[in-house]
Amino acid sequence: MTTSSLSDIDKQILWNRLIAIVEEQAQTLMRTAFNPIVRESGDLSAGIFDIQGRMIAQAVTGTPGHINTMAESVGHFLAHFSLDEMHPEDVYLTNDPWKAAGHLNDFMLVRPCFHEGNLIGFTSCTSHLADIGGLGFGPDGTDVLDEGLYVPIFKLIDAGKLDQTFMTILKANSRVPIEVEGDIYALIACVECGSRRLSECMGDFGIATIAEISDYIVDTSRSSTQERIRQLTDGIYNFEMRVDGYDKPLDLVAKLTIAGGDLEVDFTGTSGLSRYGINCPLNYASAYTCFALKCAIAPEVPNNHGSIEPMKIMAPEDSILNAQFPVPVAMRHVVGQLLPDVMFGCLHQVIPGTVPAEGTCCLWDLPLRGGYSVESGLGSTKFATELVHNGGTGARPTKDGLSATSFPSGVMGSLVEITESVSPLIIWRREYRENSGGAGKQRGGLGQVLELSSSENAPISLFAAVDRIHHPARGREQGKEGIAGSLALTSGENLKPKGEQMIPAGEKLIVFTPGGGGYGNPLERDPAAIVNDVLSGLVDRENAEKQYGLVVDSKGDFSPTEARKRQTGAGQ
């Protein structure tokens, strides 16, 4: 065993090994998870931490809401358990929204890593459990204890012995007990895999601790991030955005201060708390705020403690972005995932021509349940599942927006075949939503149309929590707004964007996800791109003429309108 300093080549190879380890962790979790939103959609996080609780590597697979809350959370476990009392076969767990990932359905695990009998660091992971009791996964709770089983930080595994009493209580409180039990074991497998691989890696390199590589990663990432921040113009930049809220609109107000290589975001002026479960703990709001800043300013710098450290995020207590216990927070994503658009609004003033137009942002999350109540048909198959679907992203300065693509969460849309295999549901239609992307020199991404019903002709409970229905994504630099989303039944009835509602037996739910905003003047869009949109069924001929000033026939031949000629100088 040697303890000599690592060479630069060793550091790079060791860094690559760490990335391989955390990605293996994530893939282990996905392969073994029972919940489709984890197994198929990647709604998770995995990471390695040093003995100080600093995140030094994170898996590419995962969401910013899980990864960046995890980066902050290991410190809470270290405050609860002393290093001296930790055992190589301990595993700790919590779903405390303020110490984990922002709501009760996300369970976070931490395992101490030992090498040759010495504590060297930690592995951690987070994933979403489908149902943990209470009212179910929806926004209708009046406090966090309505929303399910609240688990404080505790030892899930104590020196190799699993707490069976906890497992019994967890299963007894879930409508899908086999699934949640399987997901707990998948989380355990994830942290065990990381811990074992980290020790193997240290043996290969002949090192006794990860302190040297940890300091190198954190220090280098911090200095690289600050260097990029210093390239920006110091100053104060303000932006605000109005969003749907639950029973009334909400204002998200931000002040971005850039000074001397550091960033500060202050959300003073943002709306106060909602009485319903769309409130957002500050850890989750910070996670998506930092993600947006980093995407725009230092995307090539690895995401870890060092690269996040120069960013300070503040919000007044008891605002909707800094909810305090016991406020309901189950659907915190419906507000928190909109924050990147707020940040991009600030950054457009700093680095114009860099950030996209506004997009759908928050997942169109569709928790569905049947067979558990009189209303949802006691004689029908019992199920509790959660479908995740996406609208369009905002157009980029030089490219169109992405259609039916999740940004910023990165959670992949639920697959038709998987949905139908794990629940008594039929997906009748899933297709791009024509004309939904905002017009622009670069077109906004399209939303999608989804149509579903019970395969048993039974009623279904929908726990809606979607946005961009009353306040669609805005365009940038003369780009037009995207088309708003909606929820409806085949009878023609429109459903509310938030709250528990019933899909009656024999009815189909029709979901229209929103489109992203356009970027730049639509009359300057490349005619070839417009013709391609028309022939591909993304834009109809009426909108090509109305929005883009181009008359396109069924063969793809085109001619500019007078408005387009004046704008572009065509024919002069």
Percent of the chain residues past pLDDT 90, beyond the cut: 93
93, amino acid identity:
L
pLDDT of residue 555: 86
Average pLDDT over residues 480-492: 97
Q: What is the pTM of this model?
A: 0.95
Per-residue confidence (pLDDT) for residue 557, from 0 to 100: 87
Predicted pLDDT of residue 53 = 97
pLDDT value at residue 2 = 44
Between residues 399 and 558, the one the model is more confident about? 399
| Amino acid symbol at 33 | A
Write the DSSP string, 150-197: ---SEEEEETTEE-HHHHHHHHHT-SSHHHHHHHHHHHHHHHHHHHHH
* DSSP 8-state secondary structure symbol assigned to residue 207: -
Distance CA 460, CA 543 (A): 36
Least confident of 169-173, 282-286, 433-437, 553-557: 553-557
pLDDT at 150 over 90: yes
Listed residue (43, 189, 206, 205) closest to 123, CA to CA? 189
Strand partners, 252: 241
**Cβ(367)–Cβ(463) under 8 Å?**
yes
Quickly state the pLDDT bin for 372 (edges 50, 70, 90): confident
Looking up tokens 């980066």 gives 71
- Residue pointed to by tokens 């960013």: 311
In the structure, what pLDDT confidence band is assigned to residue 562 with cuts at 50, 70 and 90? confident
CA distance 38 to 36: 5
371: left (phi over 0), alpha (psi -120 to 50) or beta: left
> What would the mean pLDDT of 304-322 be, rounded to a whole number?
97
Residue 572 has pLDDT above 60, yes or no: no
What pLDDT is attached to residue 377? 65
67 contacts: CB under 8 Å, gap ≥ 6: 45, 47, 58, 59, 287, 303
Q: How far is CA 107 from CA 37, 99, 102, 126, 366, in A?
A: 14, 11, 10, 6, 20
Checking if the pLDDT of 375 tops 90, the result is: no
Residue 330 · residue 464 · CB < 8 Å:
no
Q: What's the average model confidence in pLDDT over 455-482?
A: 97
Check residue 570 and give its pLDDT: 61
Would you say residue 151 has pLDDT above 80? yes
CA distance linking residue 422 with residue 129, whole number of Å: 15
Return d(Cα 212, Cα 206) in angstroms, integer.
13
Least confident range of 320-329, 363-372, 508-517:
363-372
Helix 282-297 × helix 64-80 angle, to 10°: 130
Question: Is the pLDDT reported for residue 1 higher than 60?
Answer: no
What is the gyration radius of the CA atoms in the chain, in angstroms?
24
State the alpha helices, DSSP H only, in 351-485: 416-422
Q: Where are the domains of the chain?
A: 8-209, 230-352, 356-520
Q: How many CA atoms lie within 13 A of 190 on its CB side?
A: 37
DSSP class of residue 407? -
Please state, rounded to an integer, the average pLDDT across all residues of the chain. Answer: 95
Instruction: Kindly state the average pLDDT of the residues 306-310.
Output: 97
Per-residue confidence (pLDDT) for residue 376, from 0 to 100: 63
Q: Which residues contact 475 (CB under 8 A, 6 or more apart)?
A: 357, 358, 394, 395, 438, 439, 440, 444, 481, 482, 517, 518, 519
Instruction: Say yes or no to pLDDT of 419 above 50.
Output: yes
Handedness of CA 53, 321, 479, 349 (dihedral sign): negative
Distance between CA atoms of residues 2 and 9, nearest Å: 17
CA neighbor of 101 nearest in space, from 76, 70, 80, 146: 70
C-alpha torsion angle, residues 438, 444, 445, 451 (rounded to 10):
-10
Q: What angle do CA 336, 338, 343 make, to 5 degrees?
A: 105
CA dist., res. 49 & res. 176, Å (int):
32
CATH classification number, 8-209, choose in 3.30.450, 3.30.2350, 3.40.1350, 3.30.230: 3.30.450
Q: Between the CA of residue 520 and those of 337, 352, 449, 525, 568, what are the distances in Å?
A: 24, 12, 26, 8, 13
pLDDT surpasses 80 at 172: yes
pLDDT digits (tens, 9 = 90+) for 22-74: 999 999 999 999 999 999 999 999 999 999 999 999 999 999 999 999 999 99
Kindly tell me if the per-residue pLDDT of 571 is higher than 50: no
- Check: CB of residue 186 under 8 Å from CB of residue 29: yes
Whether pLDDT at 307 is above 70: yes
Residue range 217-265, pLDDT digits in tens: 999 999 999 999 999 999 999 999 999 999 999 999 999 999 999 999 9
User: Of 186-195, 351-360, 384-393, 550-559, where does mean pLDDT reach its minimum?
Assistant: 550-559
